Every structure is written in C-alpha cells, then in structure tokens.
C-alpha cells in the first residue's frame, strides 16, 4: 500500500492542574508524561501496518529532532522510512497537545510554510510514481503542508491508473482538480461544502437551509468525476458513486473521546478493503467501523485486527464476508 502525503509528529503532554498561575488567569500544568505518535500520512501508514498491510510511505521530513523522533516511532511500528526525504530547509510538522484531567488545554503547532523547491517536488513525484509498481492501492494524504502538490498528485494517480489499482484521497483545500481520476475522495462535510463552493457560489452562503448533501456531492462530481465518501461526524458518512443511489452509513453509538486521526483510519481501512476486492460500499462500512474504534482513544491511534474483527462481529452488515477480508 503506497501512502504519499504530509507526515507529522503528534505529541501528547499529559499532566495535572492544581492551581492557576499568579502571572495570568491560566492553569499551571504539572507535566507527568509525554507520548508520541505518527500523525498525518505517517498515521495512515501506521494504521495500514497495524491491519497487517504493508505500508510504503513517501513524504518529506525535516532534518531536526522531531524528524528523528518521527522516524523512530514509525520504525517501532514496522513502517519503512526509506522514502522519507530529509530536507534541511524545512522543519517537521509537529502538533503538541497539552492534556490535564482528561481535558484538552491547548495545542501548539510547528510547521513549515514554504513551498517545496522544484528539486524536492521532482524527487517526490519520481519516488511516488516508482513506488506505485510495488503497491496494490494508493493513498494521498493531503494536509496542505506542501507535499501533495498537483505535480505529485498527478504522478501518483497517473501511475496507479496505468496499473489499474485504486487511489483513495484524503483531501484538503477547495480545488479538487489535482485529484482528477482518483477512485474516491473522502472529505468531511465542511471540506465538501468548500469544494462545492469553488464551482457554485450558492454554497458560500452561511445559511445552511435548503442546501442538501446530495447537491454538494453532485456539484463536486460534475467537475471532478470520482466517487465521494463524505464523512459527517455523529451522522456517519455518505457514499456517492456514479450510477448508484447514495448510501448513508450510520456511525456506531459510543462515547467519543478524541477524533484526532479518525480520518486517517478511515482512508487506511477503506483503501485496504478496496485492495482486497471489496465493493466500495462495503469498504466504506469497514472504514466507518474502524473510525468508531479510534475515537474512543486518546490522540491519533491505530486499529488492531482483533478490534476491527470484534466490531464487525457486533455489527449487522455482512459480517462473515467482511471478516474474511482481514
């Protein structure tokens, strides 16, 4: 499984709050521990390996301490870092979340805001296209941190189309033209509405009344003819395929602790299902079940085979067929 996109490091700083600062009305967090986890495209790769797939990860990492920590975390999860390109002019995207008493206090982001150089972009595109030859499906994990440029996306999608394997895109931004010819794009509802707004001004209206998800999907698919899996939080997700009625997949009822990384888990499980030959709707249901597991965990998380099989057994859809996939 090839994953191309923005890799990042997720840091969780855990502690206790017993008093307010005398300097300002803010809590003082007494740090007890720190946890690290691959984030973004790196979390997608970790999910693939945890589900007994084999992840080929292509991206850029800063030549810094966070980059070293990220490669260590990936290696500990069995993910190869051979095609992570170190860049001296960039720093590794890092999201540091401070947690105390089960509450999210604050998040600090460190990231690079500059575009890739022409040489970096060409190297990424070349490595990604070459890696398609060893893959049975591709994922583009776009977090708008500079890796998923039109040039890189076109290289991956063209190579995948030539080989006849599916491409799953976790998109960012409002223009989906760079994802043309992908198999399925997986925006959340807010992202889908923004994308529809690039093609039809009525979707920019702040008043949601009268705007149907079907209208949003039809507008996007008219300009970018691909399948859409629109995730809708507590309302589940809705799949739109050409020539088929929409399929709404309800979310499993459970306590949501942290939605961080849930989208990564969806695309990883969806792509694995497609690579195994499942129809799109069934692969999407697997993604929905997997997301329902990780939102009960702290921070970006992965789904084990055992947890997913248990969720399939508890669910009411084609459990026997799905269970044979993993």
Tokens 């850029």, located at residue: 60
- CB 172, CB 188: distance < 8 Å: no
Catalytic residue among 10, 142, 258, 264: 264
Helix, coil or strand: residue 194: helix
- What's residue 322's pLDDT? 45
Residues in the chain: 326
What is the residue-wise DSSP string for 49-109?
HHTT---EEEEEEESSHHHHHHHHHHHHTT---TTEEEETT----EEEEEEETTEEEEEEE
pLDDT digits (tens, 9 = 90+) for 121-148: 999 999 999 999 999 999 999 999 999 9
**Positions in the chain short of pLDDT 50:** 256, 318-326
- pLDDT value, residue 143: 94
Side-by-side strand order, sheet with 84-87: 84-87, 56-62, 2-5, 138-141, 167-170, 184-185, 227-231, 237-240, 247-249
Quick check: is 264 catalytic? yes
Task: Tell me how far apart the alpha carbons of residues 174 and 201 are, in angstroms, rounded to a whole number.
Answer: 13
Query: For the chain, what are the domain ranges?
Result: 2-19+29-323
Q: Do residues 52 and 303 lie in contact, with contact meaning Cβ atoms separated by under 8 Å?
A: no
CATH of 2-19+29-323, one of 3.40.50.620, 3.40.1190.20, 1.10.3720.10, 2.102.10.10: 3.40.1190.20
168/268 Cα distance (integer angstroms) = 9
Q: What token pair was written down for 230? A: 């629109």
d(CA 115, CA 127): 18
DSSP 234: G
Given this model, what pLDDT does residue 206 score?
A: 53
pLDDT of residue 256: 47
């Amino acid at each position: 499984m090839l994953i191309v996109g923005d890799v990042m490091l997720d840091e969780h700083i855990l502690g206790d709050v017993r008093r307010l600062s005398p300097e300002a009305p803010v809590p003082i967090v007494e740090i007890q521990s720190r946890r690290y986890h691959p984030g973004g495209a790196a979390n997608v790769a970790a999910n693939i390996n945890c589900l007994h797939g084999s992840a080929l990860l292509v991206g850029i990492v800063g030549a810094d301490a966070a980059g070293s920590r990220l490669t260590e975390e990936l290696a500990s999860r069995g993910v190869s870092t051979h095609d992570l390109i170190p860049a001296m002019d960039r720093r590794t995207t890092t999201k540091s979340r401070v947690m105390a008493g089960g509450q999210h206090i604050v998040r600090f982001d460190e990231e690079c805001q500059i575009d890739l150089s022409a040489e970096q972009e060409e190297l990424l595109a070349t490595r990604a296209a070459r890696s398609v030859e060893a893959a049975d499906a591709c994922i583009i994990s776009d977090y708008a941190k500079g890796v998923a440029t039109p040039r890189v996306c076109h290289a991956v999608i063209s190579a995948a189309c030539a080989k006849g394997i599916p491409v799953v895109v976790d998109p960012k931004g409002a223009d989906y033209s760079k994802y043309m010819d992908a198999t399925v794009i997986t925006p959340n509802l807010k992202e889908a509405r923004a994308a529809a707004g690039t093609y039809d001004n009525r979707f920019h209206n702040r008043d949601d009344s009268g705007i149907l998800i079907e209208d949003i999907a039809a507008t996007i698919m008219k300009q970018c003819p691909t399948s859409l899996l629109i995730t809708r939080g507590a309302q589940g997700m809705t799949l739109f395929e050409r020539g088929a009625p929409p399929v709404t997949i309800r979310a499993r009822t459970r306590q949501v602790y942290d939605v961080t990384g849930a989208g990564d888990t969806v695309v990883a499980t969806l792509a694995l299902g497609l690579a195994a030959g499942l129809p799109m709707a069934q692969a999407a249901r697997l993604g929905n079940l997997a997301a329902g597991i990780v939102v009960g965990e702290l921070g970006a998380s992965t789904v084990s085979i055992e947890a997913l099989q248990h969720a399939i057994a508890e669910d009411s859809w084609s459990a026997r067929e799905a269970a044979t996939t993993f």
